[in-house]
Amino acid sequence: MTESEYVELYQGERKRAIRNAAKLLGGGYQEDAEDCVQDTFAYIWKHRERITDPKEYLYSKLKYVGQSLLELSQPYDLCGTTEQTLTRAGIR
């Protein structure tokens, strides 16, 4: 991936990626969503030589980063519990 391809990806996908991250994280996590996106773009740039489909990789990595953040933000005994289960239980 060249620098211009990276810039094009960043400019074209940043807002959508933030919306996706915010949706994944839920309400009240807008700043965390932006941080997840920044971390993901930084990772993509750092590993650009190995990434063959940057757009696909962006959303795959973003989902992983968001899920990791969610697991860290809940009590230890709930780690690994799905968002659906947490919602049903009234925790989220």
**Chain segment 28-46, per-residue pLDDT in tens:** 777 888 888 998 999 999 9
CA dihedral for 51, 55, 57, 62, sign (positive or negative): positive
Token couple for 85 = 């289960």
Confidence grade of residue 12 (pLDDT, cut at 50, 70, 90): very high
Query: Whole domain around residue 45: which residue ranges?
Result: 3-88
Q: Which residue matches tokens 């289960």? A: 85
Residues in the chain: 92
Q: Is 7 exposed, middle or buried (0-12, 13-18, 19+ CB in 10 A)?
A: exposed
DSSP structural state of residue 49: T
**What is the pTM for the complete model shown?**
0.71
Rounded CA separation 3/80 (Å)? 37
